[in-house]
Chain A
C-alpha cells in the first residue's frame, strides 16, 4: 500500500474508498502491484469525462483488497490531446472488457490491448463516435443507419477456428425460448464445443448516458429497470451510491427493509434458477415445481410492494413502505414455500439422471474464475470466497449470522448446491430480521448534491456483486453514473466453462450461470 501511496500525485478518501491518482508511467505498475502482490480483485474499471472540471478525462480502476473493508481506486488522468492509456489486460485479464468498453464509449484507446475490436457497438455504429463524451451527438441519418444494420461501418470479424472436422454453429440473437437476445458462435468438433464466442450488447439501451439526463432522485426508476430480476438490488445499489455521495445516513428501519427485501429477491431468484436448471436436463416436474414456488414468492412481492419485481420501494434516502407491517404475510408464504422447496430439493438430488447431467458439466476452474474476476454464485462454486455481504458489510449484514458458502468443483452441480445453501441461509436471515424491531423514519430528507462529489454503492445481488459509482456535476446533477452488473464480469467466463462440453449441454451451462443480458449490455 505504501508503495502506491508514495507513487501517487494526489490521494483522497471518502468513507471506505481510497483514491490514488498516479502518473501514466506508474499506472500499470501500481495496478500490477495490487493484483499480483496484494491479491486484490479488479472490481470495476471505468472512465469519466471530467473536462468541465479540469479539462481531463479520468480512468478509475477499483480494486478490492481481500480481508479489509476498503476499496483501493487507482485514478489515471488523461489529457484530451493524447486520448490513450496503457492496457492492463496482459497482467490483469479481468480488465479486457472494461478497456474495450472505455475505448467505445470515450474514445480513449487502450495501448497494448490484444483485442482491437469494439465491444459494445456492432458494425453499423459509426466509427469515432463516443456517446459518453459530453460533447457527443449523433445525426438522425446515423441513427437510422445504425438501426437498419445493413451498412458495415466498422467490421467486426468473429474469431475463426479452422481445421478438419470443425463446424461453425451460429445461434441467435433471436433464440428459440423466451429469453433475451445474444449471438453465440460455436466452433464444434462433432458434438463437442471447442470454442464459443458470444456476441452481446444487442440490448444496449444507452442506460449510462440516459442516467445523465435524469436527476439523481429520478434515476432510481431507471436503475430498477436495468435488469428485471435484480430490480431491487439495482435500486438499492444506486440509492446507496447517491446517499453516500450526499452524505446521507439512512435510518436503521430503512436499512432493515432493504436487507429484508434483498434477501426476498435472492430467494425467488435462487429457487427459480434451481427450477430452470431442470429445463436444461428435461426434468419437467422439477421445472414446474420450481416455477410454482417462484410464482408464490412473486405474489408475495406484489402484496408487499405492489410490484412483482419489487419496484417502487427504493427511493434516495430510504424506502417508501414498511414491509415489516406485513410480517405475517411474509412468514405465511415463506412457510409454505420452504416446505415445497425442501420437497423439490429432495426430488432433484434424488434423481440420478438429473444429478448425473449436472456433475462435471460446465466446469469453471478457480484459476480462470480469479483471472477473469468472476463474481457471485459462479465464483463461490469455483472456490473463491467472494461475497460483498461478508467482505464489505452494508445495510444490516454485519448484524446477521450467515456464511459465504463455497464449493471447489466449479461445475453446474456446485452452482446449484450453492444456490440451495444460500436459499436456506436467506430464509433464516429473514426469520432473524423479522424477530427484532427497528427504529427510525422510513425516509430521511434529501440534500442538494455538492459539486463534483462522487461515491460508490454496492450490493450483493443473487448473481453476484453489483457496483454503482456516481459523480455530480457543478450544478449537482449527475455527471456520470457507472453501473457494473455481476453478469458483466461473468459472461467472459462462460466460454471457458462450456469448452469441452457437448452442444446440447450449453443451455444447461448457461442456465447455471443465469446471466442477465440487459444488465451487461446496459
Chain B
C-alpha cells in the first residue's frame, strides 16, 4: 500500500478537469466551468447536500454515491454530501415518497436550516414515476414538501445530476 501512496504523491498528475468517461459536449463543459465559479461565489466554495431516500429503488442513491468516486469527483467543485441535515444547504430527495417515509422526510426537512434548496431527484421523485397511483406512495416529493427543482431520469446519471445542479445554481444566482 505504501507503494501506491508514494506513487500518487510523486506522480505528475494533478486534478483532472474532465476525466475519461465524463461524456459531455463542449457547451456543457463551459457550463460546468461556469458552475464551479458560481459554487465558489454563491456558496463560498461549499455546497453541502443531504441526500434523503424517500422510497427509491436504490439506483438514484448509487448514482449519488458515484458522484463522489474519483471519476466524477464532485468534491472538486466544493460540493459534498453531509451526514446531518443541520449541515446541509440542499436536500436531494429521491423516490416517490412512500407513505411510511413521509413523516421522516418532513422531519428531516424541518431539521434543515433555511435558506434551503429542495431538489427532487429522479422520475419517481418527480411524480411517482412507475409507482404513480400505488396506494403506498405520495406520487412525488412535491406533494409532501415544497420543491425548488427537479432532476428527471430513471435514474439520472451522475453526469446528468452535475449538469442539473449547475442549472439549479444558475437559477438561484438570478
Contacts and interface: CB of A to CB of B under 8 A. Distances in A.
A331 B98 CA distance: 41
Interface in A217-234: 221-222, 225-229, 231
B129 to A, nearest CB: 7
B135 A228 contact: no
Interface string A138-151: 10000100111110
A204 B98 contact: yes
B55 A205 contact: yes
B104 A202 contact: yes
Interface stretch (B26-34, B66-74, B164-172): B66-74
Interface string A158-185: 0000000000000001101111110000
Given A206-B137, A210-B134, A227 B70 contact: no
Contacts of A147: 99, 102-103, 138, 144
Contacts of B135: 131, 138, 143, 206, 209
Nearest to B83: A176
A432 interface: no
B59 A231 contact: yes
Instruction: State which size class the interface on A falls in.
Output: 35 or more
Given A174-B104, A176-B84, A179-B53, A229 B4 contact: no
A517 B104 contact: no
A143 B72 CA distance: 40
A15 to B, nearest CB: 29
Interface string B4-25: 1100000000000000010000
B77 interface: no
Contacts of A291: 65-66, 68-71
B42 to A, nearest CB: 24
Interface centre among B57, B61, B108 (most CB of A within 10 A): B57
Given A202-B55, A205-B134, A295-B71, A181 B101 contact: yes
Contacts of B56: 180, 203, 228, 518
Interface in A256-307: 285, 288, 291-292, 294-296, 298-299, 302
Nearest to B108: A174
A102 to B, nearest CB: 17
A311 interface: yes
Interface in B56-96: 56-66, 68-72, 81, 83-85, 95-96
Contacts of B72: 295
Contacts of B137: 205-206
Interface size class of B (residues with CB under 8 A): 35 or more
A173 B104 contact: yes
A203 B101 contact: yes
A202 B61 contact: no
A201 interface: yes
B21 A295 contact: yes
Contacts of B129: 225
B140 interface: no
A205 B96 contact: yes
Interface string B128-159: 01110111111000001000000000110100
A203 B95 contact: yes
Nearest to B111: A174
B69 A149 contact: no
Contact of A148 (B58, B95, B103): B103
Contacts of B102: 147-149
A225 B103 contact: no
A227 B131 contact: no
A221 B57 CA distance: 13
B130 A222 contact: yes
A222 B128 CA distance: 12
A516 interface: yes
A206 B97 CA distance: 12
Contacts of A202: 55, 98, 100-101, 104
A221 to B, nearest CB: 6
A146 B100 CA distance: 7
A122 interface: yes
Contact of A221 (B69, B85, B103, B130): B130
Nearest to A136: B135
Contact of B104 (A150, A181, A207, A516): A181
A438 interface: no
Nearest to A200: B100
Contacts of A299: 21
A308 interface: yes
Given A210-B131, A350-B1, A226 B57 contact: yes
19 contacts: A121-B100, A147-B138, A149-B103, A173-B101, A174-B108, A176-B84, A178-B61, A202-B101, A203-B100, A204-B55, A205-B98, A205-B137, A209-B135, A209-B136, A228-B155, A295-B21, A295-B69, A516-B58, A517-B58
Given A205-B98, A350-B1, A518-B58, 19 more contacts: A125-B99, A143-B99, A146-B99, A174-B104, A178-B53, A178-B81, A203-B56, A203-B95, A203-B98, A203-B101, A205-B137, A206-B134, A206-B135, A225-B124, A225-B129, A227-B57, A228-B57, A292-B69, A518-B56
